[in-house]
Amino acid sequence: MLKFFAMRVLTTVPVLVLVTFVAFGLVLLIPGDPAVTIAGPDATVQQVAAVRERLGLDRPVVVQYWDWVTGALSGDLGTSLFTSRAVSTSIADGLPVTIALAGTALVISLLIAVPTAILSALRRGTWLDRFATVGSSLGIALPSFWLGLVFVLIFSLGLGWLPATGYVAIEEDPAAWLAHILLPALTLGIAGAAESTRQLRGSIIGVLQQDYIRTARSKGLRSRMVIGKHVMKNASVPLVTVLGLQITGLLGGAVLVEQIFGVPGLGQIAINAVTTRDIPVIQGIVLVAVLVAVVCNLLVDLAYGYLNPKVRPR
Amino acid sequence: MTPSERPSPTAPADPTTTQPTTEPTTTEPKPDLAVAPAAPGASALPAGTVPAEATAAVVHGGGAWADFRRRVGRNRGAMIALGVLALLAVVAAIGPFITPADPNAQNLRGVLLDPFTAGHVLGTDQLGRDILSRLIVGTRVSLLAICLALAVAMVIGVPLGFLTGYIGGRFDAVVMRLTDAAMSFPPLLLAIALVAVLGPSLRNAMFAVGILMAPRFLRLVRGVVLGLKEETFVEASRSIGTPTGMIILRHILPNTLSPLTVAVAVTAGYAMLSEAGLSFLGLGVQPPDASWGSMIREGFLYYGRSPWLGIFPGVLIALTVFTFVTLGDGLRDALGREERTES
C-alpha cells in the first residue's frame, strides 16, 4: 500500500517537470522576436528593449527557465506586463472563484449522473433508459457557452429568478453566492453529468454481468441486497476514475462559462491576458491550473488504489 | 445504444442468408449512402455483398476490418448518423452556391430582423446579413476546422503510437510520460494559451486542438499494437522471417482501423465543440468569416435584443456533435460485438 502511494507520487514528478517546460516554452513559441511581438506594432525601440529586459529575454534560455521555475517554487510568477500587478496576486484572486465554480459544477453533475446512471442501468432497455441515453448524448453535444446563453435568456431575462452576471464571495453573503453561482455551475455541470452518466451506466452494466452477481442472485439474495451490496460497491470504483477525468474538463470548461456569466475567475484573467498577450500571466495561469489538475488526479488515483487492491503493485 | 435491446434483424443470426433483401433495417439509410463517398466501407456492404464473400467474412476470412464494416452497415443509428454527416458534407461543398443571399452583404437598414421576415427566413444579424446564408457558409468552415484538427492529431498520434507500441522499452516509457503531461492540461486552457502566443486564427486554433487530441490516438494505437504483438499470427509471421515493416502493414495496421474509426467519430465531436468554444472567445475564425461558434459569439453580444442570432448556430452545433456521438456509439457497438465473438 505504502509502496503504491510512493510510486504514484513519484510518477507525478516527471509530469510536473514537463508541465513547467511547456508553460515556460510558450514564450519560445512566439513567432519572430518575442519582445517586438509583445510590445506591439507601435512600440519604440526603447519600449521593446524594456520588454526584453523585464522578461529577461536577453539571457540564455536555460537561465531564463531556471529563474522562472525557482521563482515559481517560491510563489513568484513574475509581474503582469500591463497591470504591473504580481501574477501570483491575480491568480490568488481568481483561483478560489474558479475552484468554487468547478466544485459546485462537480456536485451538480454527480447529483444528476449517479441516480440517472443507476436507474438507467437497472432498467436497461426501457423508455427510461433510452431517454437517459439520448439525454446524455445531447448533454455532451450542447456547447456549454450556448447552454449558458439559453439559461440566461430563460431564468434571468425571462423569469427573472437568478442574476445573469456577476459574482459574490461566499464569505460575504452565502445566499447571494448561491444565486450567482447556480446558473454558471449548472451550465458547466451538465456536460460533466452527461459524460459521467454514460461511463457509470456502462460500468454498472458491466458489473451486473459478472458471475458473482449471478451467484448472489442464484443463492436467493434479495434483489435490493444484490444491488446495494455487490453491484454498487463494485461500480463505485469506476466513479472515482470518472471524477478524475472530470476535473481537468471542468477547469477548462470554466474559462468559457466564466466569460458568459462574468465570473471573475482564472478564465476571465486568462482571456484578458490573451487579448493583451500578457505572457507572464498566461504562463502563471497555465502552470497553476495544471498543478490543480495534477494534484486532484493524484488524489483520485490514490483513492482508486485504496478502493481497488488490483491496481496496487505487490 | 446497446446491441441487445434491438430485436432480431440486426443480430448476425443467420450467416447464410446475407442477401440485402432480408434485412429490413438497412433499406432506409441506403439512399443516404449513395451520396456518401466518405463511407466507402459501409456503402460497399448492403448493396453489393457477394454471398460467398459474406460467408467467408463470417467464417473469418475477411479480417477484422471487413467484419467491422459489415456490422456497421447493420447498425441503424450509425447509418442514419452517416447520412446526416453526408448531407452536411454536401452543404459544406456546395454551400456558397445555394445561399439565398450574399452571406457578407450588409444592410444597415435591416439589422437584427426576426426570423420569418420577408427575404430572410432566419432573420438578420447586427449588420443586416442574412443568418441562413451565414449558417450555410459556416458549415464549410466548421467542418474544415474539424478535419484540420483530426489531421494534426492523427499525423502526430498514429505513427508515434505504432512506434512506441512496437519498440516498447525506454522509448515507450518516455513517450507515455509525455502524454501523461499533455493530458493533465485542461484542454481548452492550453489551446487558449497556444493561440495567445501564435496569434488568433482558425488555423492556429485547430492546430492547438489537434495537438491536444494527439495523445488519445497515440494511446489507442499503442494499446492495440501492444495487444497484437503477442498474438500468435503476428508471432508466426515474425518467425518465418517477415520484415517488421511488412508485419505492421499486413497484420497490425488493418487491425487498428476499426478502433481508429470509432476514435475519429468521437474526437470529431470534441473538435467541433473546441472550435466553437475558441471561436466564441474570438480566438478562432476572424471576421468577416463565420463559423457556427463565432456566430454564437455575435449572438451573445445581442442576446437581449435578438436571441435567435445565437440560438440557431448552437442548435446546429449540438445536432452535429450529437450525430458524431451517435455514430461513435454505433461504431463502438459494432466493435464490441466483434471483440466478443473473437475472444
DSSP B199-241: -S-HHHHHHHHHHHHHHHHHHHHHHHHHHHHTSHHHHHHHHTT
Closest CA to A203 of A123, A127, A117: A117
Q: How far apart are CA A265 and CA A167, in angstroms?
A: 9
Residues of A in contact with B321 (CB under 8 A): 140-143
Q: How far apart are CA B248 and CA B126, in angstroms?
A: 55
Please judge whether B184 and A293 are an interchain contact, meaning their C-beta atoms are less than 8 angstroms apart.
Answer: yes
Please tell me the predicted confidence (pLDDT) of residue B42: 36
Q: What is the pLDDT of residues B114-125, one digit of tens each?
A: 776 766 667 777
What does the pLDDT average to over A219-247?
75
Mean pLDDT of all residues belonging to chain B: 73
Of residues B57 and B95, which shows the higher confidence score? Answer: B95
The ipTM, to two decimals, is 0.81
Do the beta carbons of residue B36 and residue B82 sit within 8 Å?
A: yes
- Could you tell me the pLDDT band of residue B12, with boundaries at 50, 70 and 90? very low
Closest CA to B278 of B153, B182, B149, B136: B149
Please tell me the predicted confidence (pLDDT) of residue B88: 87
Lowest mean pLDDT among A196-205, A237-246, B285-294: A237-246
Per-residue cell: A258: 466564466
Please tell me the predicted confidence (pLDDT) of residue B279: 86
Do the beta carbons of residue B338 and residue B71 sit within 8 Å?
A: yes
Closest CA to B337 of B100, B20, B74, B154: B74
Please tell me the predicted confidence (pLDDT) of residue B201: 85
- Could you tell me the pLDDT band of residue B197, with boundaries at 50, 70 and 90? confident
pTM above 0.90, yes or no: no
Is residue B56's pLDDT more than 70? no
Rg (C-alpha) for chain A, rounded Å, is 24
Using left for φ > 0, alpha for ψ between -120 and 50, and beta otherwise, residue B140 falls in alpha
HEC letters along B31-45: HHHHCCCCCHHHHHH
Among the partner-chain residues B4, B192, B313, the one whose CB lies closest to the CB of A274 is B192
**Residues of CATH 1.10.3720.10 domain(s) within chain A?**
94-311
Neighbour count for residue A8 (Cβ, 10 Å) = 17
Is residue B155's pLDDT more than 90? yes
Q: Does B199 touch chain A (CB under 8 A)?
A: yes
- Kindly state the helix (H) or strand (E) to which residue B30 belongs, with its residue range: helix B30-34
Please tell me the predicted confidence (pLDDT) of residue B118: 67
What does the pLDDT average to over A138-166?
81
- Could you tell me the pLDDT band of residue A88, with boundaries at 50, 70 and 90? confident
Q: How far apart are CA B80 and CA B75, in angstroms?
A: 9
Do the beta carbons of residue B115 and residue B121 sit within 8 Å?
A: yes
Residues of B in contact with A289 (CB under 8 A): 185-186, 189
Residues of B in contact with A124 (CB under 8 A): 2, 5
Residues of B in contact with A26 (CB under 8 A): 193-194, 196-197
- Could you tell me the pLDDT band of residue B31, with boundaries at 50, 70 and 90? very low
Is residue B9's pLDDT more than 50? no
Question: B325 to chain A, minimum CA–CA distance in Å?
Answer: 7
Of residues B292 and A168, which shows the higher confidence score? Answer: B292
Please judge whether B181 and A124 are an interchain contact, meaning their C-beta atoms are less than 8 angstroms apart.
Answer: no
User: Best of A137, A279, A297 to disrupt the B interface by mutation (most B CBs within 10 Å)?
Assistant: A137
Please tell me the predicted confidence (pLDDT) of residue A130: 85
Q: How far apart are CA B251 and CA B162, in angstroms?
A: 12
- Could you tell me the pLDDT band of residue B151, with boundaries at 50, 70 and 90? very high
Is residue B35's pLDDT more than 60? no
- Amino acid residing at B176: M
User: Best of A145, A155, A259 to disrupt the B interface by mutation (most B CBs within 10 Å)?
Assistant: A145
Q: What is the pLDDT of residues B244-295, one digit of tens each?
A: 778 877 777 777 888 888 888 888 988 888 888 888 888 888 877 788 888 8
Residues of A in contact with B216 (CB under 8 A): none
Is residue B341's pLDDT more than 60? no
Please tell me the predicted confidence (pLDDT) of residue B154: 92
User: Best of B197, B300, B315, B333 to disrupt the A interface by mutation (most A CBs within 10 Å)?
Assistant: B197
CATH class of A94-311: mainly alpha
- Could you tell me the pLDDT band of residue B69, with boundaries at 50, 70 and 90? confident
Provide CB contacts within 8 A for B61, sequence distance 6+. Answer: none
DSSP string, chain A: -HHHHHHHHHHHHHHHHHHHHHHHHHHHHSSS-HHHHHH-TT--HHHHHHHHHHHTTTS-HHHHHHHHHHHHHTT---B-TTT--BHHHHHHHHHHHHHHHHHHHHHHHHHHHHHHHHHHHHTTTSHHHHHHHHHHHHHHHS-HHHHHHHHIIIIIIIS--S-SS----TTT-HHHHHHHHHHHHHHHHHHHHHHHHHHHHHHHHHHHTSHHHHHHHHTT--HHHIIIIIIHHHHHHHHHHHHHHHHHHHHHHHHHHHHHHT--SHHHHHHHHHHHT-HHHHHHHHHHHHHHHHHHHHHHHHHHHHH-GGGS--
